[in-house]
Amino acid sequence: MSSNCLFCRIAAQQIPAHVVYQDDSLMAFLDIHPAREGHTLIIPREHHPYFEDIPPALMVRMTLLAQRVARAQKKLFKVERVGMAITGVHVAHAHIHLIPMATPNDILLLPLVEQQDLTVALPPQAESGQLALTATRIGQAVAQDSIEQPGDS
């Protein structure tokens, strides 16, 4: 546990939260700055700053819990889909955002943007040669990383 980490303190029940699920390794609770009603966060109880640092088996459990929570959100909030995002913004303790999406823009966390009259548009299409180069660079970096299977840790 990191004593100055907000989410570690929530996991240790030193700070109250509106908990929707908890077990020995995971917690799900409401974001107190919801993008929409029902906006839920899922965290590992252990402190991992970034999602790519989470042990694979634990990340699988987080994803499975995200699916369970999303099914509940769809039923309760009558939405077609739930957006899932990991941004790493605000609290450096890896967390999944689950946002019931009444509109396609709900995942953009627009309530967090101070300028509320933004127009949201599709980014311009990238040039094919640049996409090929970027895909090659990322592909090579992925190939150099070890591939861990769930349950390895």
Binders of Zn ion among residues 51 to 90 (CB under 5 A) are none
Regarding 91 and contact with Zn ion (CB under 5 A), the answer is no
Regarding 105 and contact with Zn ion (CB under 5 A), the answer is no
How many of the chain's residues bind Zn ion (CB under 5 A)? Answer: 6
Least Å distance between CB 7 and Zn ion? 5
Q: Is 95 an annotated catalytic residue?
A: yes
- For 25, 99, 110, 142, the CA distances from 104, given in Å and listed in that order, are 32, 11, 11, 30
Interface residue with Zn ion, options 39, 61, 93, 97 (CB under 5 A) = 93
Least Å distance between CB 53 and Zn ion? 12
Residue 54 or 79: the one with the smaller Cβ distance to Zn ion is 54
Regarding 47 and contact with Zn ion (CB under 5 A), the answer is yes
Q: Which stretch binds Zn ion (CB under 5 A): 2-10, 24-32, 95-103, 104-112?
A: 2-10
Residue 8 or 82: the one with the smaller Cβ distance to Zn ion is 8
Q: Please name every residue paired with 83 in a beta bridge, in sequence order, or none if there are none.
A: 99
Name the site residues for Zn ion (rule: CB under 5 A): 2, 5, 7-8, 47, 93
Q: So which residues are the catalytic ones?
A: 95
